[in-house]
Amino acid sequence: MPGKYESMLNKLTLEEKASLCSGLDFWHTKPIKRLGIPPIMVADGPHGLRKQIEQSEQVSVTDCLPATCFPTGSCLASSWDTDLLSTVGSALGEECKAAQVSVLLGPAVNIKRSPLCGRNFEYYSEDPFLSSALATSYINGLQSNGVGACVKHFAANNQEFHRFTVDARITERALREIYLASFERAIRQAKPWTVMSAYNKVNGIYASEHPFLLNDMLRGEWGFSGLVMTDWGANHDRVAGIVVGEDLEMPGNEGLNDQKIVQAVQQGILEEKDLDHVVRRILRLVDRACENLDQDATYDQKAHHQLAKEVASQCMVLLKNQGEVLPLDPAKHVLVVGPFANSPRYQGGGSSHIIPTKVSDAFSSMQHLGSVSYKQGFSIESELCDTTLEQEVLEGVEQAETIVVFAGLPDEWESEAYDREHLRLPENQNELIRKLAAVHPNVVVVLSNGAPVELPWLRNVKGVLEAYLAGQAGGEAVADILYGIVNPSGKLAETFPRRVEDIPSYLEPQRRGDTVFYTEDVFVGYRYYTSRKMPVLFPFGFGLSYTRFSIEMLSCSHSACTERDVVTVQVRVKNCGDCEGREVVQIYITPPRGKVSNPCLQLRGFQKVSLKQGATEIITFVLDRNDFSYFDEELKQWVVEEGDFHIRIGNSSDNLSVSHKISMHQSSENIALFTLDSMVSQLLTHPKGKALLQPAFDLLPFDLTGESGKMMWEMVKAMPVRHLVTWSHGEFSESMAGELLEALNTRV
């Protein structure tokens, strides 16, 4: 049945249809008063509601209604907890409903291609499987309260430098396996009401008018039927956008581009039926939003603050705990150092900046739990060392059992609109930590940052807690973890490299100009570091606990299979330590060496479990064809290669304690894998390849076994199949080559 407003499509004039395709102002869609079509409101997210006060005449990130500031995306993702993300989404839905906001602009799921991206604190992960799984739960939670999600920024919006004009040059394989995959599962499964197109170009075409992204992928392969809106000011060619399904231009443009739509229809450049498709989706969104409005909706601010605290405590990552320096003993004195302890940095800058309902600091929270004192130690207004502040700290260190330094990045170092230049902390912080570690045996550092940083003093301190940007209740959560009230269970959703030069995209600098080549291809984040066997500061998926866990393989349904089989894997996880805790069990695959270069590890599943001391739980993972395939750019399809796949399971990408080998055989499906341009080495990956090629080898004028045999053999392997015809002087004929390819391309 058509909705109340959708049924009005045929009553709209051409000018009215065009007017609906852009906003009324910064936050509302346009009404059609003549037909009783109302405006609806959208508002910024994604980790809190940023509803600008409607009387404001200018765009402002501070003139907004108070709302709960939950942990930012990088912190939330470190929970590896889909249920937690659903709970956060549901709470955000309650706040949006109470504020009469119909669509929240989130989640933000762009891949963290480089840790230097200024907006990384909003994004979930460098891994598309983790990112999309978390986004799916967030969307389901939000939309369960009748508030629409807006998944952003579609797609390949991976830097802030030149973000309005940059052209991301990416192979189709990397697009599909990495950058689009971060969106795909969430859009297919959670069905968000809206998707936001990005500012940038992808392979020469602006995302807001990109036929491949919007038509072929989003609406075609993924079956998305919701509304697509531009990022604010991201429109380039409005008519071209209409043609490919860019529905709503935001913000309003005072009718400038609406008139271009009318003229394009009148001149026959744009078919009115294409405009009708767009208007229909806009009316459906209005219809859905109005059905879910509730003028009496409220939410409990105190309960949401408590939820923000509980969420933050499940997200923070314990990176080091030498000699079990943590948890702290409440009976022993602790010296707290650093202005972040009582003036917390809990969110990033830009459009996601929230005016919180309340803010808790770590020092005040720690005072309720143990004996603590405070010294400033350094300034966050400058990178220069302040010898007076340093001396005040150093003179009192002998009175403390433990020193806890609250370090991190200043507000202006991480924000929308610009990227970081390096991975360093301010030098005055590094220097103070070095000096403290030189005179005291128990130094713990708590970090407040939205993305990875270098830690030059890591070997000299006993403990490091990555608190990220933990939202308005992060101070309470930090205190609970430091004193052992909460057992830390966060895992890194991104790799911490040792130095900026180790970043996969480092040799393709962001400062080059308006064209950026993604030369690392599918080797993003841990896929690169593990394939290179490159040491890192902290690996993807890493995080310590106050207890210990063991993981052991129970069973795998297959040791040999075809791509059509479903593989079921079971492992047992046990809490072997002294207290209750949570563990994240992660499953990766290692593909065989074949036609293309594949990362040696690829995340394919995870589960977070809570276990009491001595308890065990059986975890089941199910893998199917999608988990074993890669995108073949020549064939334009997903392919599973023959060979040995290794399934690896553990609690981080560098601690995979159990493994199982599966021999993958070809199914009876017929796919043209090989052509006359395929190299002999590629044909040799087929189990029958060498036997079928032997007659051709026998006809070549090369001695493959003599003194130069190795060189000759390598030369032959590098030849295209058609060269076998040439080098054999036609004795291995083209028809024989065709029969060979037919035999190899028929999977039996």
DSSP 546-586: SS-EEEEEEEES-SEEETTSPEEEEEEEEE-SSS-EEEEEE
Please say if the pLDDT value at position 669 is more than 70.
no
In this predicted model, what pLDDT tens digit does every residue of 420-459 receive, in sequence order?
Answer: 999 999 999 999 999 999 999 999 999 999 999 999 999 9
Give the residue-averaged pLDDT of 413-419. Answer: 94
Cβ atoms 129, 603 nearer than 8 A: yes
The pLDDT tens digits of the residues spanning 165-204 come to 999 999 999 999 999 999 999 999 999 999 999 999 999 9
In this predicted structure, what is the pLDDT of residue 746? 74
Yes or no: say if 372 and 334 are a contact pair by the CB < 8 Å rule: yes
pLDDT of residue 670: 47
Q: Tell me the per-residue pLDDT of 118-157, one tens digit each, with 9 for 90 and over.
A: 999 999 999 999 999 999 999 999 999 999 999 999 999 9
Q: Note the pTM of the prediction, 2 decimals.
A: 0.94
pLDDT for res 512: 61
pLDDT of 524 higher than 70 = yes
Query: Could you tell me which of 503, 386, 488 has the C-alpha nearest to residue 453?
Result: 503
* Residues identified as active-site: 231
More confidently predicted of 688 and 617:
617
Residue found under tokens 């392979």: 203
The reported pLDDT for the residue numbered 671 is 60
CATH 2.60.40.10 fits 549-665, yes or no: yes
In CATH terms, the fold of domain 303-532 is Rossmann fold (3.40.50)
Partners of 201 in beta bridges: 167, 206
Res 668 pLDDT > 70: no
If you average pLDDT over residues 411-425, what whole number do you get?
95
**Packing angle, helices 301-313 and 474-482, rounded to 10:** 40
Residue whose structure tokens are 């009230």: 485
Cβ contact 615:549 at 8 Å: no
Q: Judge whether 728 and 742 are in contact, CB under 8 Å.
A: no
Residue 530 confidence (pLDDT): 98
What mean pLDDT is reported for the chain? Answer: 95
pLDDT above 90 covers a percentage of the chain that reads 89
Buried b (16+ CB within 10 A) or exposed e, 579-616: eebbbbbbbbbbbeebbbebbbbbbbbbbbbebeeeee
Q: What is the pLDDT of residue 1?
A: 39
Work out the average pLDDT over 17-30.
97
Q: What letter would DSSP give residue 189?
A: I
In single-letter form, the type of residue at position 121 comes to F
Average pLDDT over residues 588-613: 96
What would the 3-class secondary structure string for 570-581 be?
A: EEEEEECCCCCE
User: Rg of the chain's alpha carbons, rounded to an integer?
Assistant: 28
CA 75 to chain centre: 12
pLDDT for 508: 75
The CA distance from 676 to 732, in Å, is 13
Pull the structure tokens for residue 343: 């003036």
pLDDT at residue 4, as a whole number: 82
Region 230-238: mean pLDDT is 96
Segments making up each domain of the chain, as ranges: 303-532, 549-665, 680-745
